[in-house]
């Protein structure tokens, strides 16, 4: 199972980015062995292009900061679960996600309100 993380760096020690569109790297981690599959440098990609890369690498979830509405909708339509990982390293956020201790991103604003059928539990 692959998980994508919008991160400031390309390693497991990097911090989760505050906003998905301004992450320096999209880090893809295979949870079967907890290894980085690839770290894709964000070279001024739009958030929508980053969301498409999450889908391209067959990621079941994304850990990040704030999402814009278009990227949020792209990910929800593809059934990608979104987690808020602010303040954590990539490694810690992955651990918290596995222990079901990260908050879901239920809407583009990042609040706990659900605006529709956008979240999967």
Q: Is 94 within the bounds of a domain? A: yes
Contact status, residue 96 vs residue 88, Cβ threshold 8 Å: yes
Q: Is 114 within the bounds of a domain? A: no
Q: Is 77 within the bounds of a domain? A: yes
Contact status, residue 37 vs residue 30, Cβ threshold 8 Å: yes
Q: Is 110 within the bounds of a domain? A: no
Q: What is the tens place of the pLDDT at every residue in 20-73?
A: 989 999 999 999 998 999 999 998 777 889 999 999 999 999 999 999 999 999
Q: Is 87 within the bounds of a domain? A: yes
Q: What is the domain count for the chain?
A: 1
Mean pLDDT of 96-119: 77
Q: Is 109 within the bounds of a domain? A: no
Q: Is 117 within the bounds of a domain? A: no
Stated pTM of the model: 0.89
CATH code (residue 99) = 3.30.420.130
Residue 111, pLDDT > 80, answer no
Q: Is 119 within the bounds of a domain? A: no
Looking at every residue in the chain, the average pLDDT score rounds to 90
């Amino acid at each position: 199972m692959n998980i994508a993380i919008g991160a400031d760096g390309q390693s497991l020690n990097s911090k989760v980015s505050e906003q998905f569109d301004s992450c320096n790297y999209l880090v893809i981690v295979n949870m079967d062995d907890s290894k980085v599959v690839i770290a894709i440098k964000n070279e001024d990609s739009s958030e929508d292009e980053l969301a498409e890369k999450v889908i391209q690498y067959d990621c079941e979830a994304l850990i990040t900061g704030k999402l814009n509405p278009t990227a949020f909708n792209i990910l929800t339509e593809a059934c990608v679960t979104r987690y808020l990982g602010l303040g954590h390293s990539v490694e810690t956020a992955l651990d918290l996600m596995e222990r079901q201790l990260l908050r879901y991103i239920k809407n583009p604003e990042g609040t706990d309100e659900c605006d529709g059928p956008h979240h999967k539990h």
